[in-house]
Amino acid sequence: MKKPNPEMIDDENPEWTEEDFARARPAYEVLPPSLLKKLGVRGPQKRPTKIALSLRLSPSVVNAFRETGNGWQTRMDAALADWLKTHAPEELRA
């Protein structure tokens, strides 16, 4: 096991041991119900959800969008949506 850097050790917040992890419990088991109620549960999204998928694209296309910075996947989605305004997906069927 690698020894920690002495400069990074925080005596007021020591690294957890195996025993600490073994004693740990989920928040819903240890927090009072009033706090859990206040924290709430995540509800449904207000906007329609997107579909997660695995997709293979050419490196040049992905790199061009990535170079535009954060939000590149949203911009790629917008570009495809824009393409659909002037093209029918049936055009691509062989």
The encoded tokens of residue 67 equal 């170079």
Residue 76 has pLDDT above 70, yes or no: yes
Counting Cβ atoms within 10 Å, is residue 65 exposed (0-12), middle (13-18) or buried (19+)?
middle
Confidence of residue 78 (pLDDT cuts 50, 70, 90): very high
Phi/psi zone of residue 45: left (φ > 0), alpha (ψ -120 to 50 degrees), beta? beta
Average pLDDT over residues 74-84: 93
pLDDT of residue 94: 61
Per-residue pLDDT of 33-69, as tens digits, reads 888 888 877 667 677 778 888 999 999 999 999 999 9
